[in-house]
Amino acid sequence: MPVDDSAKGKTFPAASYEVGKEKIREYAQAVGEESEVYFDREKAKSAGFRDIPAPPMFAVVYSAPAMAPVIFDPEVAMNFAAMVHGGQEFVWGEPVVAGDTISTTVEVKDISERDGKGFYVFESVSKNQDGDEVVRATWTNIVRGV
């Protein structure tokens, strides 16, 4: 059975996420970040950040509210139980800091089939409260046995 690609091009409404200092701390500790800029506001400011910065890969945290509805969308119809995360790209822009509100939109870029596997490619674009792009991400999920 060929993979259903009818959701290709579908876009999702923006989901927003307010970045908190203590959430940055929790994330930074979990991934082993050691730089003081993630834990000390004065250090962050003297390094030229507007406030405590988020580590680059914190992008997964503020993108999550936008990505969850896509993964479970009935039109996208991705078999979550057979899904693996195949690849990921982030392109960073303006740094994200505590106090920012990040708004993320998602588009289904591609749904295709190769060697009996379904490839689901989503692109998300995240902007801060000033409209500056903070991250553009490509999420590739692979579903076995489509």
Partner 1 sequence: MNEGDAIPELKVTPDKYLPHRYAGASGDFNPIHIDDEFAKQVGLPRNILHGLYGMAQVARANVAAAGGDPRALKRLTVQFRGMGVPEEEITVSGTVKQAGDTVVVDTVAEQGGNQIIRNAEAELRLD
Interface with partner 1 (CB under 8 A): 23, 26-27, 29-33, 35, 37, 47, 53, 55-57, 60-61, 64, 84-92, 95, 138
Phi/psi of residue 94, nearest 5 degrees: -55, 130
Least Å distance, CB 50 to partner 1, is: 12
Where would I find the H helices in the chain? 21-31, 41-46, 59-71
Q: How far is the CB of 12 from partner 1 (least distance, A)?
A: 18
CB of 6 to partner 1, least distance (A): 27
Please report how close the Cβ of residue 3 comes to partner 1 at its closest, in angstroms.
20
**What's at 45, amino acid-wise?**
K
Bridge-partner residues for 141, per DSSP?
Answer: 85, 120
State which residue, 31 or 42, has the beta carbon closest to partner 1.
31
Closer of 47 and 69 to partner 1 (Cβ): 47
For residue 87, give both structure tokens: 């690849």
Q: Which is nearer to partner 1, 6 or 132 (CB)?
A: 132
* Alpha-carbon gap, residue 30 to 48, rounded angstroms: 24
Q: Which is nearer to partner 1, 19 or 37 (CB)?
A: 37
The β-bridge partners of 7 are: none
Strands (E), the chain: 11-18, 83-92, 101-114, 117-127, 133-143
Per DSSP, 50 falls in state S
Closer of 1 and 22 to partner 1 (Cβ): 22
The nearest distance, CB 105 to partner 1, in angstroms, is: 19
